[in-house]
Amino acid sequence: MRKLFAILLALVLLLSLCACGAPYPNGGTATATDENGNPVQLSYVAEFYDNYGAQWLSVEGTSFDIKPNKVKEYAYNTDGTWVSSWTTSSVVSITIDGQHIESCGSTVLFYDTRLKPLDIDIPKDVTSSTGESATITSPYDGYNYWEDRWGLHYWWQTEKQANTTPAARVVVVQSQNGDPICMFTGESVSWSVSRNLPKTTELMIDGKVVYIHRANFSVIDTSIFK
């Protein structure tokens, strides 16, 4: 009996450990310290985009929580009978300062407001140092090789012309259809897959968090543009 009780207790503890912890920092409100060591409250932005990279909602708050939802799926067994299993739904539940959003299918960026996203600002007409020129069209006009080629190069050249040393790495975020949304830059960039959330990647940029849900992204060494 004692052995059975010990086994059940171990299972309960294991399940509680697997279920604990929201994927956002501290499970909600987070703090940091300023240059003088004083505590400051952090805030976060949640930005929602459609498949073409057009933003339709932006919300800022100090307390965030992101949770997946599980659903029961049914299928036929080899003998023709119904079987069921639990899986992670594509619907995520987002809580922002106590307000709730249920989201499915939209691209969502969650990021620390200490990070400043950069627009991928591409001029209509560009000319390279070798004399090549091209006219840039809107991303809604369809795929454009020159747009993909010149967007980052133009940003890097603009940084150098302003006598500014670009950060070591750049994160380019694109919509699910490949249209550019924004960029982040930093000296140190790492990523990990959020095991509890569907289609979500966690990025750490110089110690500041970005969650990318349902979006394409690339992390590129800026030295590749030299």
Residues 168-184 pLDDT 10s? 899 999 999 888 888 99
- 14-18, 34-38, 81-85 — which is least confidently predicted? 14-18
If you average pLDDT over residues 152-173, what whole number do you get? Answer: 78
Average pLDDT of the chain to the nearest whole number: 75
> Would you state the pLDDT for residue 139?
44
Alpha-carbon span 115 to 111, nearest angstrom: 7
Read off the tokens for 119.
Answer: 């627009």
Domain boundaries, the chain: 23-225
If you average pLDDT over residues 88-94, what whole number do you get? Answer: 88
Pick 143 or 121 by higher pLDDT.
Answer: 121
H/E/C letters for each residue in the chain? CHHHHHHHHHHHHHHHHHHCCCCCHHHCCCEEECCCCCEEECCEEEEEECCCCCEEEEEEECCEEEEEEEEEEEEECCCCCEEEEEEEEEEEEEEECCEEEEECCCEEEEEECCCCCECCCCCCEEECCCCCEEECCCHHHCCCHHHHHHHHHHHHHHHHHCCCCCCCEEEEEECCCCCEEEEEEECCEEEEECCCCCCEEEEEECCEEEEEECCEEEEEEHHHHC
Give pLDDT tens digits for 34-54: 667 777 778 899 999 999 889
Read off the tokens for 54.
Answer: 């057009």
> Would you state the pLDDT for residue 122?
53
Pick 105 or 13 by higher pLDDT.
Answer: 105
Other Cβ atoms closer than 10 A to 96: 19
If you average pLDDT over residues 187-191, what whole number do you get? Answer: 93
